[in-house]
């Protein structure tokens, strides 16, 4: 059972938390029309890497706050815990963020206002 450091409460047992899966999945803006296929990248496709994974967790049986963490799926080591809406700060976390296929997906591009999409 993991020991997770809730940013509000500190170290707690994993059983107090629930895992919300992959972090940094941006919701496409309605103004940006997406094909069904591109939209499915947002709706259905989830990463499952062997190695560093950026996840969302919620301290369900505690303060009920959501936060992000970077976890090694092989060793289960938690590399860092960081707030929702922010980027990972460790080198490993940053690398994982950049390496994710989603960074180059149409769905993610569509999460930014249309005029800023580089054609």
Partner 1 sequence: MSPKQSHRLRANSGAINRQKSVQFTFDGKKYTGFEGDTLASALLAHGMHLVGRSFKYHRPRGIFGCGSEEPNALIRVIHPSNAEPNLRATQLEIYDGLVAESQNRFPSLKIDFLSVNSFFARFFPAGFYYKTFMWPASLWMFYEKFIRQAAGLGRVSKDHHDPDRYEHKYAHCDLLVAGGGASGLQAALVAANSGARVIIADEQSELGGWLLTDNNFNIDQKPAMDWASNVIKKLRSMPNVSCLVRTTVAASMDDNFILMAERVTEHLSIKEAHLPKQRLWKLRAAKVILATGAIERPLIFSGNDLPGIMLSSAARSYIFRYDVLAGTRAIIFTNNDDAYYTALAIHQAGGFVRCVVDLRDNPKSQIITTLRKLGIDVRTGHAVTAAHGTLHVASVDIAKYDTENGAPTLDAVHMDCNFLAMSGGLNPVVHLHSQRKGRLIWDDRTSCYRPENKSDEWVSIGSANGTFQLGRALSEATKVASSVITKLTSENKGIMLQETIAIPQTEENKQNWTPLPVWLVQSGQPYISDKTAFVDFQNDATAADIKLAVREGYHSVEHVKRYTTTGMATDQGKTSNINAIGILANTLNKSIAETGTTTFRPPYTPTSIGAIAGRNIGSLFAPVRTTRMHSWHKANGATFEHVGQWMRAWYYPREEEDFQQTINREVHATRHYAGLLDASTLGKIDVKGPDSAEFLNRVYTNNFATLPIGKSRYGLMLKEDGMVFDDGVTTRLSEDHFYMTTTSGGAAGVLAWLEELLQTEWQDLKVYLTSVTEQWSVASLSGPNAKSILKACMSEDKTVVDDFPFMTMKDTFIAGIPARIFRISFTGEMAFEINVPARYGLALWSYLMRVGKEFKLTAYGTEAMHVLRAEKGFIIVGQETDGTVTPYDLDMHWIVSKKKADFIGKRALERSSMNEPQRKQLVGLLTDDPNKIIPEGAHAVLDPDQKMPISMLGHVSSSYYSPNLKHSIAMALLKGGLNRKGQTVYIPMLDGQEPIKAKIVDPIFFDKQGDRLRG
Residues interacting with partner 1, by CB under 8 A?
1-3, 13-14, 20, 27-28, 30, 34, 36, 39, 43, 56, 58, 60, 64-66, 75-76, 84-85
Select 53 or 67, whichever has its Cβ closest to Zn ion. 67
Phi, psi dihedral angles at 88 (to 5 degrees) = -60, 150
Contact with Zn ion (CB under 5 A) among 26, 38, 63, 84: 63
Give the DSSP letter string of 26-70.
PPPPTTS---HHHHHHHHT-----SSEEEEEEE-TTTT--EEEEE
Least distance between partner 1 and beta carbon 25 (Å)? 10
Give residues 9-28 in contact with Zn ion (rule: CB under 5 A): 9
Which helix H or strand E contains 22, and what residues bound it? Answer: strand 18-22
Distance in Å, CB of 81 to partner 1, minimum: 14
In the block, tokens 């930014």 appear at: 112
What does 92 bind: Zn ion, partner 1, none (CB cut-off 5 to 8 Å by kind)?
A: none
Q: Which does 8 bind (CB under 5 to 8 A by kind): Zn ion, partner 1, none?
A: Zn ion
User: Measured between alpha carbons, how far is 92 from 9 in angstroms, rounded to an integer?
Assistant: 25
């Amino acid at each position: 059972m993991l020991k997770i450091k809730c940013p509000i409460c500190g170290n707690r047992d994993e059983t107090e938390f629930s895992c919300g899966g992959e972090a940094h999945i941006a919701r496409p803006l309605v103004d940006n029309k997406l094909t069904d296929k591109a939209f499915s990248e947002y709706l259905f496709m989830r990463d499952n890497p062997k190695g560093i994974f950026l996840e969302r967790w919620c301290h369900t049986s505690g303060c009920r706050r959501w936060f992000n963490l970077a976890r090694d799926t092989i060793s289960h080591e938690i590399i860092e815990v960081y707030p929702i809406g922010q980027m990972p700060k460790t080198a490993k976390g940053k690398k994982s963020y950049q390496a994710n296929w989603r960074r180059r997906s149409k769905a993610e591009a569509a999460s930014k206002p249309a005029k800023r999409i580089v054609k």
